[in-house]
Structure 1
Amino acid sequence: MADESTADASTPAPASASPASSRPTDPDFLSCVLQPPTPSSSRPDPDYVALRRFLLRRKPPSALNHRMEWRCNGKGYVAYRNFLLRRIEGGAASSSAHSTPGNSGRWFAGPSTSEVDSWSSIRDLIRSNSGVLSRTVSVSSKQSESERHVRFAEPAYSFVGMHCIFDNCKSSVTILKFGRANSDVLAYGSSEGSLTVCQVSHPPSVLQKLVGHSKDITDFDFSSNNQYLASCSMDKTVRVWEISKGTCIRVVYGISSQLCISFHPVNNNLLLVGNANREINAINFSTGRVVSKLTFDNAVTALDIDHTGQLIFAGDAQGYIYSISVNSHTGSLSRAHKNKSSKSKSSITTIQYRTFSLVARCSVLLSCAQDGNLYFFSIATNAQGYLTLICSLKLASTVQNIRASFCPLLSLEKGEFIVTGSGDSNVYFYDLARPKNSCVNKLQGHGSAVIGVAWNHGENLLASSDSDGTVIVWKRAKSN
């Protein structure tokens, strides 16, 4: 097999072709590896595939060394395996699109150049032939240079396609969220000031359109029972809505743009709101009165609260992240720590807390800045929320306030996966534990910059929104 692209695969290589023939080998294993597909068909014989998988799974540990030493006409095992792989993929290419990070949850970047990694590659081939491959909606099969280095996308973040689309907004959808502990209700706010509440189950439909804000919706949050929705806007107001009736039941007026909002997870009678006047206000939900406030150095642009309700994490317009202690009963606020994530002075667009991380083995925080920097912190809960930077990721800078989100904890492999929008109209998945080849998948389908992303409670649906007003709900593939 002097040239693996033109080698005749119809004749098994003789055992004498191996320089290690004097050493003990597994005859069943070698004969299975060398056995080619039937010459009369472009697809391998099913019995051959089943036998080959069985023998590969029971091979002795020493088989790796035998395989590394095996040669046939000057070519190694990896070259022969890739030759067979191309024959298999060639037969499937006529019925499906090429596997790329955009349309496949598991894909191959081409022949491997390392024989040491041959077992992991053959394992991927086995999984691919076993039906692990799942396709997503794609408008292009081109790969960037950086994507060719990634062997396959994380199977937990493979998608079968679009679940449904909402395109009733005529302006940019700036923020979207699923209801709490609810996999069916989705709400999104637009730059025209409207809030839309939908159900994504079959048939998908719009439940309510909440009209009252006169400028951009900057943020909103569901109450714990999904009965109420609190929103804030550039029109300097905070509004509370009763979703079932579609009516605004309370308006809280401010003196500056209200930029971020969250219900307290333990005491749902507390609303925490950050504004352009460099404040975080604790508002009594029942009365609409401000019960406590805390002043910072810059406008508070994003916030999130830990699961205990004792710590608030807030980002400002200059890239600082604050840890704030909050009293769950009285709503009193006190600053604990001020953390600078980088030397840049870019506004924080996303702050998201996670109770546990497989990488950090503790509570963690995700921060996304407008200049395209993502930061991943560990949280010292016994030190009032002190943050330690674990890693960072530089994306393309954008003028949009693009948001990011943690991905579900589905992989038992070591990694920290996040999803983010992008100015090139794609949804990207990254592994923060891979500094060089961090992109593991992407979804293509939007026609403009993707701004918001959000997972539902069941973590089987991902929603994304763009600057044209389109909301796409993607359905994640089932994983074994």
Structure 2
Amino acid sequence: MADADSTSGSSASASTSSPDRPAAPSMPTDPDFLSCVLQPPTPSSSRPDADYVALRRLLLRRKPPSALQQRMEWRCNGKGYVAYRNFLLRRTDGGSAHSTPSNSGRWIPSPGPATLSEADSWSPIRDLRSNSGVLSRTVSLSSKQGDTERHVRFAEPAYSFVGMHCIFDNCKVSVTILKFGHTSSDLLAYGAADGSLMVCQVSEPPSVLQKMIGHSKTITDFDFSSNNQYIASCSLDKTVRVWEISKGTCIRVVYGVSSQLCICFHPVNNNLLLVGNANKEISAINFSTGRVISKLNFDDAVTALDIDHTGQLIFAGDAQGYIYTVSVNSHTGSLSRTHKNKSSKSKSPITTIQYRTFSLVARCPVLLSCAQDGNLSFFSITTDAKGYLTLICSLKLASRVQAIRASFCPLLSLEKGEFIVTGSEDANVYFYDLARPKNSCVNKLQGHGSPVIGVAWNHGENLLASSDSDGTVIVWKRAKAN
């Protein structure tokens, strides 16, 4: 140590006395790196080079932990994987989950003798087979001693998740729709079959900010204003309601003559609300006064809609599986129909219409449609022809009884492929690559105990929210890409 101190002192004095010499680069401050570098080489090492030994120690310390270790360290609101698994099993067997306003956004297993500890049965086979958020494949290999089953995990950074960020279980009926706020990674809202609308924050600690009561029947859709100060919701009770989020109060009610099925704010003129209803029409409503400015009639009930980023084109799906392109005037709110496209051969209601400004596959704006019979369609949009749609590819999933929704994965699609995420009636969340004609399923998330209805990404796409027919909302945390 004395030699080291004298050496460092002499080098310091030398650098001080030589102003023309360039300053030495700053040493890294990573404690792992420093601890490895400062350890002396072992006498038995075949390489006497201290830098080589330090680098080797650094790499060994930074090796990723095993899958078993990751599962044992997995946490959600302070609880481990086994506790949450037992919680789901109790709910499936008829047990009840306790939730109080003080622990909103958390899950608490029901007390009882069946509760297992965190160290319960951590077998490697179970750990590798139970793929909560990570794609697993099983490869069988034979040897001279007999057939043995090896479990090999293939995890791609774009699809892998590290577990659940938080869970909201304070709703006892089906959660039909959920969305994150515009350009927000923290603000989440979801509507339920009893007409309630919850606004939550998903940051630590996760909590319910507002519970807005006003609708008397199922909430079919809602949308945030561009500044996330207001929410406009529609319902089967034939009303459109506008809510002020900070106060949790309804500031305007627009009454209709039929069920209101889909709604969105105009992206350029937030004073315009566009609403599709069961009366086969889209209405443009003045946000400030609640007056209907204009209407446009269609062949069947308008069940889903979205609008492009310029605010000039509306894409609407109806109950017969048709997709319409509608031109809208941003100032006056006047509507005019331009194109009518068939999304699939079946006559099933469209549950999701989602617009994206660009796709690497299509090299132009694209549109995703999801029908209740399980047909997913991917279209390119010709902007020069006023929104004419061209089918690029489609995917047929299992037919659904419920109106299950789907969503683009924009950040994932910046790599290779065109990825979408959707719920399913087998209680899983599935990821599909529409660019793959075969083996399109690339991942699935397991954790829900009932059919998954809604999915939504936050702004940074590091969090994915999903809701089921039992009222549970799970926020999944995506793994950081290397």
**TM-score for both structures, normalised by structure 2:** 0.71
Match of 2:229 among 209, 227, 230: 227
Partner of 1:196 in structure 2? 198
> How far apart are the structure 2 equivalents of 1:454 and 1:185?
12
> How far apart are the structure 1 equivalents of 2:206 and 2:435?
36
Contact kept in structure 2, 1:370 and 1:402, CA below 8 Å: yes
> How far apart are the structure 1 equivalents of 2:393 and 2:129?
27
Cα displacement (A) at 1:239: 0.2
Partner of 1:157 in structure 2? 159
1:274-289 to 2 correspondences below 5 Å: 274-289=276-291
> How far apart are the structure 1 equivalents of 2:172 and 2:68?
44
Cα displacement (A) at 1:442: 0.4
Partner of 2:433 in structure 1? 431
Partner of 1:343 in structure 2? 345
Match of 1:110 among 116, 119, 139: 139
- Which amino acid in the other structure matches residue 262 of structure 1? C
> How far apart are the structure 2 equivalents of 1:101 and 1:155?
18
1:244 has 2:273 as partner: no
> How far apart are the structure 2 equivalents of 1:374 and 1:91?
38
1:14-163 to 2 correspondences below 5 Å: 97=126, 99=128, 102-103=131-132, 105=134, 107-110=136-139, 152=154, 154-163=156-165
1:388 has 2:417 as partner: no
Structure-2 change in CA distance of 1:399 and 1:332 (3 Å): same
- Which amino acid in the other structure matches residue 407 of structure 1? C
> How far apart are the structure 2 equivalents of 1:298 and 1:412?
36
Partner of 1:76 in structure 2? none
Cα displacement (A) at 1:234: 0.1
The secondary structure found in structure 2 opposite 1:157 is coil
Contact kept in structure 2, 1:102 and 1:441, CA below 8 Å: no
Match of 2:418 among 410, 413, 416: 416
Structure-2 change in CA distance of 1:156 and 1:91 (3 Å): closer
1:462 has 2:464 as partner: yes
Contact kept in structure 1, 2:360 and 2:413, CA below 8 Å: no
Task: Give aligned-pair identity as a percent.
Answer: 81
> How far apart are the structure 2 equivalents of 1:183 and 1:435?
33
- Residues 73-119 of structure 1 deviation map (CA, whole Å, 9 limit, x = unaligned): xxxxxxxxxxxxxxx9999996585546933545455379xxxxxxx
Contact kept in structure 2, 1:156 and 1:411, CA below 8 Å: no
> What's the C-alpha RMSD, in Å, of the aligned pairs?
2.8
Cα displacement (A) at 1:401: 0.3
The secondary structure found in structure 1 opposite 2:139 is coil
> How far apart are the structure 1 equivalents of 2:159 and 2:407?
13
> How far apart are the structure 2 equivalents of 1:408 and 1:365?
12
Structure-2 change in CA distance of 1:235 and 1:106 (3 Å): closer
- Which amino acid in the other structure matches residue 369 of structure 1? A
> How far apart are the structure 1 equivalents of 2:248 and 2:302?
29
1:342-381 to 2 correspondences below 5 Å: 342-381=344-383
Contact kept in structure 2, 1:317 and 1:346, CA below 8 Å: yes
The secondary structure found in structure 1 opposite 2:392 is strand
Give the number of equivalent residue pairs: 365
Contact kept in structure 1, 2:157 and 2:480, CA below 8 Å: no
The secondary structure found in structure 2 opposite 1:177 is strand
> How far apart are the structure 1 equivalents of 2:123 and 2:424?
32
- Residues 26-57 of structure 1 deviation map (CA, whole Å, 9 limit, x = unaligned): xxxxxxxxxxxxxxxxxxxx99xx8xx9xxxx
> How far apart are the structure 2 equivalents of 1:291 and 1:100?
56
**TM-score for both structures, normalised by structure 1:** 0.72
Match of 1:272 among 260, 264, 274: 274
- Residues 375-410 of structure 1 deviation map (CA, whole Å, 9 limit, x = unaligned): 000000110100000111111111100000001323
1:325 has 2:332 as partner: no
> How far apart are the structure 2 equivalents of 1:90 and 1:168?
32
- Residues 191-211 of structure 1 deviation map (CA, whole Å, 9 limit, x = unaligned): 000000000000000000000
Contact kept in structure 2, 1:101 and 1:441, CA below 8 Å: no
- Which amino acid in the other structure matches residue 132 of structure 2? N
Structure-2 change in CA distance of 1:292 and 1:89 (3 Å): closer
> How far apart are the structure 2 equivalents of 1:415 and 1:299?
33
Structure-2 change in CA distance of 1:380 and 1:216 (3 Å): same
Unaligned runs of 5+ in 1: 1-45, 54-87, 113-141, 143-147
Structure-2 change in CA distance of 1:242 and 1:89 (3 Å): closer
- Residues 404-442 of structure 1 deviation map (CA, whole Å, 9 limit, x = unaligned): 000132355420000000000000000001111000000
> How far apart are the structure 2 equivalents of 1:101 and 1:441?
13
Cα displacement (A) at 1:349: 0.1
Match of 1:174 among 173, 176, 187: 176
Contact kept in structure 2, 1:154 and 1:441, CA below 8 Å: no
> How far apart are the structure 1 equivalents of 2:402 and 2:448?
15
> How far apart are the structure 2 equivalents of 1:348 and 1:423?
17
Structure-2 change in CA distance of 1:330 and 1:152 (3 Å): farther
> How far apart are the structure 1 equivalents of 2:477 and 2:125?
20
Contact kept in structure 2, 1:355 and 1:364, CA below 8 Å: yes
Structure-2 change in CA distance of 1:380 and 1:364 (3 Å): same
Cα displacement (A) at 1:278: 0.3
Contact kept in structure 1, 2:68 and 2:127, CA below 8 Å: no
Contact kept in structure 2, 1:104 and 1:153, CA below 8 Å: no
Structure-2 change in CA distance of 1:380 and 1:209 (3 Å): same
